[in-house]
């Protein structure tokens, strides 16, 4: 097992675009060990503190917005490294700290700091088995335990938390990686994305079914959109309208379409 982090340019990319940092002491902001979200009492305390940052009216709203941000900080960079770098980055919950900061130009949950992690590049053999280990570790071993606890504490359906995760997954593969990856990566990109959406079984996610399969439906393109490509149909509301200064719902929100 390689004990090193990524190459310097790879590490810099994940830090710049996904706010995932490693091995650099964090000097500003409130540090929250991610393990605190695994205990219902400390999870409730953490969500309550975050509610103050967001001016959120309830833990349910905070939990939904937290899931969207946390998926960006974890799911996006780990899957990006898997598909683009062909490297497995292990995110042990016990080594992860969230940086909660309210600074000019900084998001409320500014980054995820990883104290230690293993990186294992794919060398030879069956890549599907190697990929399975990454997906299991990330989702069944890391994301699912958090979503299960947060769902109970905030009284929010896990479906909302998983759809917030799916939004990050779709954006990663259908926008960022599609725009950046050359033709030599096209087959790997398609295989990894299809595995996550269609082929990976429920145990890999720590759930009773693949949580992403139910969110794959496309709808009609938005009126006036620059492209005729249809967008994904969102099935749950993320409650962002509860803390947004703008009136109304997100364009893909099912609440907006029902009115």
| pLDDT tens column, 87-133 | 999 999 999 999 877 666 667 777 898 987 788 888 878 899 999 99
Res 25: pLDDT: 56
Res 247: pLDDT: 57
Res 2: pLDDT: 42
**Residue 40 near residue 150, CB atoms below 8 Å:** no
Half-sphere exposure of 48 (CA within 13 A, CB side): 8
Tokens representing 36 are 């605190």
Tokens representing 44 are 């409730």
**Residue 232 near residue 218, CB atoms below 8 Å:** yes
Tokens representing 163 are 């759809």
CA 22 to chain centre: 18
Give the C-alpha distances (Å, rounded to integers) separating 145 from 5, 35, 93, 116, 252.
25, 10, 10, 20, 28
Nearest to 72 by CA among 110, 33, 25, 122: 110
Give every residue of the chain whose pLDDT is below 70, as ranges.
1-5, 24-29, 102-106, 217-231, 238-259
CA 241 to chain centre: 20
65-68 long-range contacts, CB within 8 A, separation 24+: 65/238, 65/239, 65/240, 65/243, 66/109, 66/150, 67/147, 67/150, 67/160, 67/161, 67/164, 67/165, 68/164, 68/167, 68/168, 68/238
Res 201: pLDDT: 95
Res 123: pLDDT: 84
Res 227: pLDDT: 47
Res 190: pLDDT: 93
Can you say whether the dihedral through the CA atoms of 243, 245, 248, 252 is positive or negative? negative
**CA 32/CA 26 separation, integer angstroms:** 12
Cβ density class 117-139: b for 16+ within 10 Å, e for less: bebeebeeeeeeebbbebbbbbb
């Amino acid at each position: 097992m390689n004990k090193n982090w990524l190459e310097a340019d790879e590490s810099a990319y994940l830090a710049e675009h996904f706010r995932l940092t490693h091995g650099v002491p964090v000097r500003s902001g409130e540090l929250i060990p991610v393990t605190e979200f695994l205990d219902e009492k400390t999870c409730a305390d953490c969500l309550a503190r975050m509610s103050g940052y967001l001016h959120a009216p309830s833990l349910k709203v905070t939990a939904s917005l937290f899931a969207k941000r946390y998926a960006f900080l974890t799911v996006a960079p780990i899957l990006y490294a898997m598909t683009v770098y062909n490297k497995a980055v292990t995110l042990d919950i016990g080594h992860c700290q969230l940086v909660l900061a309210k600074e000019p130009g900084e998001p409320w949950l500014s980054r995820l700091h990883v104290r230690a992690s293993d990186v294992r590049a794919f060398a030879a053999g069956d890549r599907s088995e190697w990929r399975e280990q990454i997906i299991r570790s990330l989702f069944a071993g890391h994301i699912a335990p958090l979503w299960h606890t947060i769902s109970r504490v905030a009284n929010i359906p896990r479906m909302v938390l998983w759809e917030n995760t799916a939004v990050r997954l779709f954006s990663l593969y259908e926008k960022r990686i599609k725009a950046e990856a050359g033709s030599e990566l096209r087959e790997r990109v398609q295989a990894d994305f299809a595995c996550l959406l269609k082929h990976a079984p429920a145990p890999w996610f720590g759930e009773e079914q693949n949580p992403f399969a139910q969110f794959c439906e496309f709808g009609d393109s938005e009126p006036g959109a620059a492209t005729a490509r249809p967008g994904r149909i969102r099935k749950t509301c993320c409650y962002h309208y509860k803390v947004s200064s703008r009136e109304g719902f997100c364009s893909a929100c099912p609440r907006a379409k029902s009115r």
